[in-house]
Structure formats: C-alpha cells, structure tokens
Amino acid sequence: MKKDRARRAVSGAFALALSLPFACGAQGDPGYPSKPIKVVVPAPPGSANDLLVRRIAEQLASRLGQPMIIDNRPGAGAIIGTQAVAHSAPDGYTLLSANVVHVINGSINGKLSYHPLRDFTPISLVGYTPSVLMAYPGADIASVSDLIKKAKASTGGMNYASAGIGTAGHLAGELFRRAANVPLQHVPYKGITQAITDALGGHVPLIYLFGPDAVPLARAGKLVPLAVTAPTRSSLLPDTPTFAELGFPGVELTAWYGFLGPARMPPAVTARLNTALQAILKDPGFKQQLADLMFEAQTSSPQELENLMARDLERLSQVARDAGMRSE
C-alpha cells in the first residue's frame, strides 16, 4: 500500500510538472511586456493605416515601457501581413493593425489560410474614418436624390469608381445599388490613386473614398460628398448626411481600425493592451492628433470588437455572394 501511495505521489508530481508550462502560457508573461512588441501593418509605409498605427505606437511604447516595432508587410490586399500574424505565437509580442479590410477579405475569399475571426484575438478598436460617396463637381450631382434621378434617366445607368473588385468601395456601391434599386455600374481600378485621378478629371462621375482621401478633397471643393456609410454623421464631415438619414439604413460600411493578436492570446495580456489603448485614445489631445490624420478615435472592449467583426463578416459575405464576388 505504501508503494502504491508513493507511486501515485510521483505520478501526480510528474503530471503537475508537465502542466506548469501550459498553465503559464495560458496566463501569459506576468511581467508583460518584457521585450519589444512588433505590430504588423499589412500596408505600405505612409499609408493611412501606417500613419495611424505609428502615432498610436509612440504612445503605447511610453505606457508599456517597451519599444513598439512597426513591421510593414503589404501585399495581396493585406493578406500577406495578416496571415503572418495568424501563424505567430500568441504571446502578445506580435500584433496586427487591422481594419474593415480584414473582414472584407474574409467575405470575398473563401480560400484564405486563416479565418478572420477564429484565428485572431480581438484587443480593441482604435478609430474609424468615414467612407464617403463623392461626385465630380461637373456632374451636377449635389445630393443622393440628384444621383438617383440622373442614374435612372441615363441609358446604362451611372458609373462609380473604386480601388478594385471586392474592395470597400465596391461593396459599399453594391449595398447602395441594391437598397436604392438604382442602375450603378462598377468601374474597378488597380488601386485608389488612378481612381481618384479619373474622378478629379471627370472621367468617372462617382467614387467611394475613405476619410484620409475624402475629407481633404471635400474641403477643397474638388469632389462633392454626398453621403457617408457610417451609422452616424462624421465630425470630419458634419454637413454630410448618412445613408440611413436619406432612407437607406442598410447602406452601412464603417471603416473601422483596430488591434488584433493571434488566437488564444492570454486574457491578461489582452487586458493589459486594451487598458493602455483605452487611456491613450480617451486623451483629448491625442484625439485631435488623430483628427488631423482624418481619423476619429474610438475604443472598445475585446468583445465589442469581436461582435463588430462577426456582424460585418456575415453581412458582407452575403453581399459578396449575391454580387458574385466571392471565391470558394
């Protein structure tokens, strides 16, 4: 009997020793962060996403006491950088700067090597920027009602530009086309730069743009903002109505930005990052810094960000399937 008790004691000690590394991993590094944190930006240096993250990273480094390393990994519509984070260790030392493109990719591409929800840990929203339907001034379109009348009176409808097939602008245009039953023809470009050039030249009468591009052009009078796809008006374009105000509540595509980590990141690490971001983004001075970049500061709990991503993924996947954009 003594031998049995001794054997059980040794077995229990051995099992405890094996479980300790896993328990520590689940709880995370108690001294987190104890080394530099890498933030993968799936966009090139100087892009809107990059400028936003660099401004936030400066403040995070100060609050967390560790350097924040920006790792720009553009390519394949943000897929290359995103999949790198999905396959990283979930220790809180590799993060992803994501935006609405994260779920758009999941809605139109069924062949991704990762799942936009299951393979990531939501940390917090950090901001959003308006997505704006804009018109060439010479097109004589001052409102959405003008647009609908002209499109229905034109043979073949009216063209709108976006950065390409399956982009936010394409999906927003498809949402509006279906909601208003208006004949709109999508003109996809290989990137937003040429699309903007043609819109400014009047070669295409309509275009969807995010805030960093839309707001300066609207303020300069070079393009006319017709409506924003957000649930509420943007403080950056306070005189521009939402589609919901105009009778099209389903035309909503919020251009949100947020931080994610790999799946199964320790809750304590997630909470540490969320708390730091909350403090940074609630500071009035920092909010103004983001406004200067054409972003509005916005925080959330991890669950709120997860809910937002899940809602967008379900809704946009249906739009993509109906429009024949989705590849399986």
In a domain, 272, yes or no: yes
In a domain, 246, yes or no: no
Residues 37 and 95: beta-carbon distance below 8 Å: yes
If one compares 196 and 15, the residue with the highest pLDDT of the two is: 196
For residue 231, is pLDDT > 70? yes
On whether both 59 and 142 belong to a single domain, the answer is: no
On whether both 124 and 137 belong to a single domain, the answer is: no
In a domain, 2, yes or no: no
For residue 16, is pLDDT > 80? no
Question: How remote is the C-alpha of 43 from its chain's centroid?
Answer: 12
Q: Which amino acid is at 24?
A: C
Measured at the alpha carbon of residue 97, what is the angle toward residues 91 and 102, in degrees to the nearest 5?
110
Binned at pLDDT 50, 70 and 90, residue 2 comes out as very low
Count how many domains the chain has.
2
For residue 120, is pLDDT > 60? yes
The H or E element spanning position 306 is helix 302-322
For residue 268, is pLDDT > 70? yes
Q: What is the CATH number of the domain that holds 155?
A: 3.40.190.10
Whole-angstrom Cα distance, residue 233 to residue 254? 11
Whole-angstrom Cα distance, residue 255 to residue 243? 15
First-last CA distance in the chain: 62
Q: What is the CATH number of the domain that holds 290?
A: 3.40.190.150
Strands (E), the chain: 37-41, 68-72, 94-99, 120-129, 131-135, 158-162, 184-188, 206-210, 224-228, 255-262, 296-297
For β-strands 224-228 and 131-135, DSSP reports them as antiparallel
Model pLDDT for residues 37-87, shown as the tens digit of each residue? 999 999 999 999 999 999 999 999 999 999 999 999 999 989 999 999 999
In a domain, 192, yes or no: yes
For residue 14, is pLDDT > 60? no
Examine the fold and report which residue of 193, 213, 228 is the final residue of a domain before the chain moves on: 228
For β-strands 37-41 and 68-72, DSSP reports them as parallel
**Nearest Cα residue to 82 out of 327, 322, 315, 309:** 309
Where are the alpha helices (H) located in 254-301, listed in sequence order?
A: 267-281, 284-292
In a domain, 24, yes or no: no
In a domain, 278, yes or no: yes
In a domain, 137, yes or no: yes
In a domain, 107, yes or no: yes
pLDDT reported for residue 15: 42
Examine the fold and report which residue of 210, 228, 246 is the final residue of a domain before the chain moves on: 228
On whether both 89 and 154 belong to a single domain, the answer is: no
On whether both 221 and 148 belong to a single domain, the answer is: yes
Question: How remote is the C-alpha of 200 from its chain's centroid?
Answer: 26
**Burial annotation 220-247 (CB, 10 A radius, 16+ → b, else e):** eeebbbbbbbbeebbebbeebebbbebe
Tokens at 199, concatenated: 């819109």
**Nearest Cα residue to 135 out of 103, 90, 176, 77:** 176
On whether both 136 and 223 belong to a single domain, the answer is: yes
**CB atoms inside a 10 Å sphere around CB 61:** 16
Domain carrying residue 210:
131-228
Which SS3 state, helix, strand or coil, does residue 243 take? Answer: coil
On whether both 260 and 123 belong to a single domain, the answer is: yes
On whether both 284 and 310 belong to a single domain, the answer is: yes
Under DSSP, the state recorded for 110 is T
